[in-house]
Structure 1
Amino acid sequence: MTSLPDRQNTVALVEQAQRDGARLARACDIVGVSVRTYQRWSTPQGTCADARPDARRPVPHNKLSEVERAVIITLCNQPHYRSRPPAYIVADQADEGCYIASESTFYRVLRDHDQNHHRGRDKAPEGRRAPTTHRADAPNQLWSWDVSWLPGPICGAWWYLYLIVDVFSRKIVGHEVYAAETGELASELVEKAHWREHLALRDKPLILHSDNGSPMKAATFLQKLYDLGITPSRSRPRVSNDNAYSEALFRTLKYRPGFPAKGFANLEQAREWVLGFVHWYNTEHRHSALNYVTPDQRHSGEATSILANRRATYEQARNAHPERWPGAIRNFGLPDAVDLNPEKASHC
């Protein structure tokens, strides 16, 4: 509800704008109220306060009486019901041929008497925080990484694939396959990728996003990030969508034709296969999210000229046969910036 001083200030601003020659609808739109709201606030007697807090509302005809509410409280506090939820109490009373009120009414009455609280040793439910949001408008500003398990030679044996992908270009900038999942190995991976991309002399900070796995939170790994000047970022617990770029890359890898779904015979075979996949993905794979240029071309900046040549080819074809092109040619642009977990608009 809008307080009386805020109402008076808003009405005064709109009236001043009208005296200066502004239209009513435009003035109301600028201050953020509708014309009808302004008319309701502005009366011949002056700006009126909100009457809803002091309004007298009729009592619902089906409201429980105080006696009936007291019966619910007394029933819920009986020894054999005091640790039971309303759903149990209502069902048990129904088995005895007695109906007092619905489950929601039980909850409402208990809440009014401050007797509805979280119980048990488990943690009370909490509201989920908003995801961490980042934006990259050039390569090597925002990386995403994760560890995935590759099947081994027998059931229950795994090799661990470490992958780092550049969110802006989708290029795999670092990868390793190890026999263990540790913070020390993750530190080696990040350091190799950092030097391979020649980031030692960069002024702009690099953000490395990941989930909440144990290697990502290891003290050794975090210290390495600080030494390299990399800012760590992590997803919300148990929300895989917050690290969607890495998850999508793992999906592409494991559904690639030729992936040995029955397992890699040894560590060397796994490393050899992943090396071939990375080469294909970076240099040959025409990525649908990049308008079908390769991640390497996007990373190096070649994508702009390649897409411009494609556009020229399409325009030449349309000029040669305009009757075959009822609409515009395909959009060959690429986004100027890429968002990781973009914020939703407030009106959505």
Structure 2
Amino acid sequence: MELDVRTVQRWLVRGPDGGEDGRRGPPCPPANKLSEAERQQLRELATSPEFVDLSPHQIVPKLADMGFYIASESTLYRLLHEDALDAHRGRAKPPTRRRPDPHTATGPNQVWCWDITYLRSPVAGMFYYLYLFLDVWSRKIVGWAVLEQECNEEAARLFRQICANQGLDPEGLVLHADNGGPMKGAT
């Protein structure tokens, strides 16, 4: 972290926790800071039936059309966030966040992972591609091939060939990969 020795010594003099923060805040609050009454008025407006489904982006112009201006859009966003009122607002259905199902291997040949690694060739700018399939449970390399091109059809063919060599049904196997282009096309 490259701290100066003298800095650390000053911290230790203040105490084991570094002492109080010696920085001074602003000398006085900003002149345009909202009063507690204005904050309460904004809360009541944002939770009123007329505005409860609207975002601050819609509330502020609507209030301006009615002749009211209490705070900016960003201040209203900040106030809603502080009061935990910034949940989904609007008529649209909130987005559903669904995590992918976790795959847990409890034995060999249940979950495989695979990847493609670039291997340098003697020619500058040209590569060979190592396709490697690994059993997640045993960490055993179940199959690999070095090919001259990166192709999802070749990856699928190689996967079927490795499954046949292992005596496995490809349908009963979970194949995990990062989301590279050939991985998406072949799995």
Q: TM-score range by the shorter chain?
A: 0.5 to 0.7
Using the size of structure 1 for normalisation, the TM-score is 0.33
Q: CA 1:104–1:192 in structure 2 vs 1: closer, same or farther (change >3 Å)?
A: same
Show the 5 A alignment for 1:167-206: 169-171=147-149, 175=153, 190-192=159-161, 200=166
2-side partners of 1:167 and 1:115: how far apart? Answer: 55
Counterpart-to-counterpart distance in 1, 2:58 and 2:49: 14
Structure with bigger gyration radius:
1
RMSD across aligned C-alpha pairs, in angstroms? 4.5
For the structure 1 residues 46 and 77, does the alpha-carbon distance in structure 2 shift closer, same or farther, using more than 3 Å as the test? closer
What is the alpha-carbon distance in structure 1 between the residues aligned to residue 158 and residue 146 of structure 2?
20
**Rounded Cα–Cα distance in structure 1 between residues aligned with 2:170 and 2:132:** 19
Q: Which has the higher helix share?
A: 1
Q: Which letter maps to 1:102?
A: S
Residue 41 of structure 1 aligns with which residue?
Answer: 11
Q: Which runs of 5+ in 2 are unaligned?
A: 100-112, 120-128, 135-143
Name the structure 2 match of 1:105.
75
Find the aligned partners of 1:50 and 1:77 in 2 and give their Cα distance. 42
Number of the residue aligned with 2:95: 123
In the alignment, the residues of structure 2 paired with residue 76 and residue 33 of structure 1 have an alpha-carbon distance, to the nearest angstrom, of 48
Question: Which of 18, 41, 47 pairs up with 1:77?
Answer: 47
Once residues 234 and 191 of structure 1 are traced to their aligned partners in structure 2, the CA distance between those partners, rounded to angstroms, is 16
Report if aligned partners of 1:72, 1:100 keep a CA contact under 8 Å in 2: yes
Instruction: Kindly provide the CA deviation profile for residues 116-143 of structure 1, in whole angstroms up to 9, marking residues without a partner as x.
Output: 212553335689xxxx995758944249
Contact kept? 1:139, 1:169, Cα under 8 Å: yes
Match of 2:125 in 1: none
Which ranges in structure 1 are unaligned for 5 or more consecutive residues? 1-31, 144-165, 177-185, 201-219, 226-230, 236-241, 251-348
SS at match of 2:41: helix
Secondary structure at the aligned position of 1:42 is classed as helix
Q: Using the alignment, how far apart are the partners of 2:74 and 2:97 within structure 1?
A: 19
8 Å Cα contact 2:114-2:175 kept in structure 1: no
Report the alpha carbon displacement of residue 69 of structure 1 after superposing the two structures with TM. 0.6
Q: What TM-score do you get using the length of structure 2 for normalisation?
A: 0.54
Once residues 133 and 63 of structure 1 are traced to their aligned partners in structure 2, the CA distance between those partners, rounded to angstroms, is 57
C-alpha distance in 2, partners of 1:126/1:37? 48
Answer whether contact 2:130 2:147 (CA < 8 A) is retained.
yes
Identity value in percent: 27
Query: What is the alpha-carbon distance in structure 2 between the residues aligned to residue 103 and residue 174 of structure 1?
Result: 49
**Where do 1:284-323 residues align within 5 Å?**
none
| Residues 140/105 of structure 1: CA separation in 2 closer, same or farther (3 Å cut) | closer
Measured after TM superposition, the shift of residue 55 of structure 1 is 7.1
